[in-house]
Structure 1
């Protein structure tokens, strides 16, 4: 989910950045050091790969991470405080380009610059996506290994279901048999809000697209469900704590921190590029060093930095590379193309409920009291992210939007739209009101058709590339933006469960709704309403912070660089190169209609086995 600041004006939290206990932490490499595998990027994918490859005692693994350790960072550890990490020292502090679909607005894109990556900064929602997402990927790549039947075992290796922080009976809130025995701890909320039961009751009353789902991670990606999060015992469970900290005693894994890869180097003197050398530095103007993997380099720098590094290394659109005087090793216009994210529109309502957590934002004493309760025994509001319930649904087959285009979702059990229910005012870009009680519904498009790009505009890895998710730039996406608001409005107004909350639209949403209510003409309730709601979406959309798809995999038999060929083969190796593989969210060949961290863990577990098989390590 897109992060936002909750408490910067309320309290000052010490954010220490201590060395991790995992493996051997280095700030420089020993002269003559040699490694079989060099992993660039210590986020979710890099952490999983470092663990799984170093399970083989005969190989040596180096993990290079641009940031430091999350250990000792209170805002990482406390689930509720995750919203404060955007713009912090462990964030890359990216900014997207002015968006044509949003009238030129621009805003930050939060990505983790720390061991554990964005799993340390996200809001922890744990969705594995519907089975048909993986079946769709198998179809696109011609590789049945990506089908759910074959990848389920990898999902089960990622995580395990644990009791919520308050130990309440979770019968009917989660399906234990849908979960595995992996290192990431997953639980439903440990401090349920009064709003949660209202939304669930409403979903059961209304049915249809709002039908209640006991467990969104049981195969069908549709329905209203209790949100599952990567939280155990009231603490965030992230990639570094789950995959790196437990292997502190392995002597065949080194972790080089506070070090940024600057480019990849071809070691072949002729023929197919063999890209097994990583150049790195610890500052923009600092000395450059390099390390060569004896087997391969695995690029896990993330959906932004992975295509950036390939382009800096001569792999990408040749016209772009020529403009920057970079020698083209492999010409592929798809490198950095295909960026997609989930647009999200915050909808605010006032409520007569006095049980919201708005006082946490409005009163320093309340905030400090909740924080103290967490510090004493990991209980109370701060054991959860700010939301506990989510809903996913599809635009019906008979909707007119489909007359002009194909279905954007992976299959019949994958959603087009999502709502996230927050029992307070969830501020995006502005301070929350100083008084009052609120309900926020975050409305998202999870199967958008818009596609953007990540393109370098300098030859330095220390310069941010141009990041353009192209939000709301297709007719389907603008239609879906209005559709999701309309569907939520209908749900709130027709379900009896919401009646007692006394909901009234707030702010700009109130202005639009009041104008609609004051004019009952047919034009206003159709075309006029559409125009007003689309303007609201354009003026207020951000993203759920789920960027993906900038280096898609495709069929291993395709070797050209056409739009059907992708950047990677189905084993995630860079086409046209030797010694180089990519494993992170950039590899997704189509949009994942869910919160994507669990998908990245799952993809990486399979990638680790693919690597082991290739080198006879399994």
Structure 2
């Protein structure tokens, strides 16, 4: 088998490639694979992080909670958030081949019909509609049996999935909590009703969590797309190198940005490489707008304040930052079948890990949750008298609820040393708050100012207040009454007052690490209102495209990794069509 063409030195590279891709997350991995299917095309992928293919911890699904803040994380933090009592919030972003798919919690949602049809309307391009997105979704992933091999008939729709390289499965280690959740549906009713498969077109209701897991292991962008392409002779991958800016060709209008400058440290020598066809930014919601701003494409006042010549004045670069906010509530339960007893006992933890290593069975084959709900606020909620409905449509969610069979330390609460617990994570998936990403320095190695502006819109505060009310209400549903002893920690001090619930959220909320929107798409004829047009080409320049979550015009009402894969697969076809490459 041919070896992977992964390099650490500029000396190993050519001076020109047809395509230079910045970032090896979902967008970069998919494009490297699809564009290099044509053997006449040369592709370079530049990644700031390293190759973590030999990191065993990243393979274990349950251990995903330990990866943010580690060596494969950029370790970004937000500016003090006014809506969260001036707390700074960690913004985990993957820094490795595979990007954030190497450190995320793997939940798999494609967004559903209303999301994609709303994007088609925004971009005035039916290629972004559900009919097209569904076909690309099937090109991305394939459904595999859960690790325990149980019969999945009745809680997944195989026909909704395809034959692509990413492995997707339902939980492979059932728990008693799963049955309680589904037994409660009769009491909960309405939009809480059972949904056999959130990826079949409607992401609303309660169902089993699907994850990018196959054979009990994480299935990420590097293993699914990038590594298979890395053995091709027309693909080079450079790791541990950061793009510092894009260099325009002198004297050409509109500006042509096909030269990439990079370095391996802030003081290190700069090296340039040229793309004969395109440079494609796939550096993510933080990296892509940062590179554009450092290159003179962005808000004029910001660039001028850092003595960066303004080449393309575009205030939209770095604007429209959107993120899901979440808060956890903890409840003591009448059960010993929770992960608490395993994780607080080193011998039990080691035994669970040994079972995973030997047989790919047990607790560690799952992400930390087996079930979740996507629900709407009631139509008669007073907030709709003051603000429009931000969801993609009437069958799209405002809130998500995730049910964890143990004490999940979200929000910084330390796990108790005794007892058994469940965690209810409540999240706002249709926020109206909008933030910004702005460079803090001309130094490309300096972290930018990341301001998601969490809970700065009144709708978001009202919705999260209702989310907390929902969490307290659902644990009182009949199946939970003998199971749940009551809330513990800060949630135990909550009473019926909305002001107290809003204060609880402001004090304890964090993000779901689903940032998007900072290089948003707009319709071709309205491209000046965004950063890229409906074909993802950067407005006002030549030779430059963006393919990552930053191009989302609105935030999906769900987890976002599968949505990024779909965008990247369609982008590959758009690029192939423009350059006459075989599809």
Does TM, normalized by the shorter one, top 0.5? yes
Structure 2 CA distance, aligned partners of 1:249 and 1:542?
40
Listed as ranges, the gaps of 5+ residues in structure 2 are none
Match of 1:396 among 378, 403, 427: 378
Structure 2 CA distance, aligned partners of 1:270 and 1:431?
58
Would you say 1:71 and 2:53 are equivalent positions? yes
Structure 1 CA distance, aligned partners of 2:31 and 2:485?
48
* Local SS of the residue matching 2:10: coil
| Equivalent residue number for residue 485 of structure 1 | 468
Q: How far does the alpha carbon of each residue in 1:264-308 deviate from its partner, in whole angstroms, 9 at most, with x for none?
A: 110141321000111001111111001010001000000001100
* Local SS of the residue matching 1:376: helix
| Equivalent residue number for residue 445 of structure 1 | 428
Structure 2 CA distance, aligned partners of 1:31 and 1:369?
46
Do the aligned partners of 2:13 and 2:236 also contact (CA within 8 Å) in 1? no
Would you say 1:431 and 2:395 are equivalent positions? no
What is the aligned length? Answer: 580
Do the aligned partners of 1:26 and 1:254 also contact (CA within 8 Å) in 2? no
| Equivalent residue number for residue 589 of structure 1 | 553
Structure 1 CA distance, aligned partners of 2:275 and 2:569?
21
What pairs up with 1:161-310 in 2 under 5 angstroms? 161-310=143-292
Match of 1:96 among 53, 73, 78: 78
Do the aligned partners of 2:230 and 2:237 also contact (CA within 8 Å) in 1? no
| Equivalent residue number for residue 565 of structure 2 | 601
Which region of structure 1 is more displaced relative to structure 2, 604-613 or 72-81? Answer: 72-81
Q: How far does the alpha carbon of each residue in 1:44-96 deviate from its partner, in whole angstroms, 9 at most, with x for none?
A: 11000000000011110000001111211111101011111111111000011
* Local SS of the residue matching 1:271: coil
Structure 2 CA distance, aligned partners of 1:244 and 1:530?
48
Do the aligned partners of 1:324 and 1:458 also contact (CA within 8 Å) in 2? yes
Which region of structure 1 is more displaced relative to structure 2, 310-319 or 144-153? Answer: 144-153
Match of 2:443 among 460, 471, 480: 460
Listed as ranges, the gaps of 5+ residues in structure 1 are 1-19, 517-524
Structure 2 CA distance, aligned partners of 1:31 and 1:55?
20
| Equivalent residue number for residue 549 of structure 1 | 517
Structure 2 CA distance, aligned partners of 1:394 and 1:614?
41
Q: How far does the alpha carbon of each residue in 1:564-596 deviate from its partner, in whole angstroms, 9 at most, with x for none?
A: x11110000000000000000000001111000
Q: How many Å apart are 1:29 and its aligned residue? A: 4.0
* Local SS of the residue matching 1:47: helix
Structure 1 CA distance, aligned partners of 2:342 and 2:315?
48
Residues 595/475 of structure 1: CA separation in 2 closer, same or farther (3 Å cut): same
Would you say 1:535 and 2:499 are equivalent positions? no
Do the aligned partners of 2:475 and 2:484 also contact (CA within 8 Å) in 1? no
| Equivalent residue number for residue 381 of structure 1 | 363
TM-score of the aligned structures, taking structure 1 as reference length: 0.92
TM-score of the aligned structures, taking structure 2 as reference length: 0.98
Do the aligned partners of 1:303 and 1:584 also contact (CA within 8 Å) in 2? yes
Residues 123/559 of structure 1: CA separation in 2 closer, same or farther (3 Å cut): closer
- Aligned Cα root-mean-square deviation (Å): 1.3
